[in-house]
Amino acid sequence: MINKREIFDKKSQIPSEGSLDNNSRDDAKNKGFSMIEIVVGIALVGVALLGLAQLFCLSVMNNARSDAMTNATFLAQQQIDFLRNLSADELHNLSLSPIDELMDINSDGTVDFRRITQIAASGFYWDVRVLVFPAVQAQAALDNLIANPSYYQVRADIGTVISR
């Protein structure tokens, strides 16, 4: 059996028509974002994207530098392997003056690297030093490059000893 108190409680829970409209207007005002919240959100996303763009540019530059150093090291090692296959007389003839080469590694008609090879005879062995520079050093004086390679942005500086 339902008592009067339960009926009264149920009636008090049902909103009247006027209060229903007022609540719906208040709810509509509270739904969504304000213009300030949108602008702040866009600004935060913009700052995050700028940081990512800067990081992307930095990684592209580091990859290009790494590629240049890898190619330069390969060119230096290639020269040393070539010299290891020469006879003692051929090494002696090459030790008279440094070998200076302009390298175009991708056959596009532009110089990519400058490779300088020094060979110093000392009895039955030869000290070999191979320096590889970027193309911007193509016009630099040979003596300056050999004397101060780090100043001229050497990409590879490899030394070894060849004996016969």
DSSP 141: -
For the segment 29-53, what is each residue's pLDDT rounded down to a tens digit? 667 889 999 999 999 999 999 999 9
The answer to whether residues 126 and 102 touch, using CB atoms and an 8 Å cutoff, is no
pLDDT, residue 32, reads 80
Q: Which CATH class is domain 35-163?
A: alpha beta
HSE of 81, CA atoms in CB hemisphere, 13 A = 6
Residue 112 has pLDDT above 70, yes or no: yes
**DSSP code string of 61-125:** HHHHHHHHHHHHHHHHHHHHHHHHTS-HHHHHHHTTS-EEEEE-TT-SSS--EEEEEEEEEETTE
Per-state percent for the chain, helix, strand, coil, to nearest 5 = 55, 20, 25
**Domains of the chain: which residue ranges?**
35-163
pLDDT, residue 33, reads 84
Which has more confidence, 16 or 139?
A: 139
Which band of pLDDT confidence, cut at 50, 70 and 90, is reported for residue 163? very high
For the segment 62-106, what is each residue's pLDDT rounded down to a tens digit? 999 999 999 999 999 999 999 999 999 999 999 999 999 999 999
What is the reported pTM? Answer: 0.70
- Rounded Cα distance, 83 and 156, in Å: 17
* Percent of the chain surpassing pLDDT 90: 77
Mean pLDDT of the residues in the chain: 88
HSE of 135, CA atoms in CB hemisphere, 13 A = 9
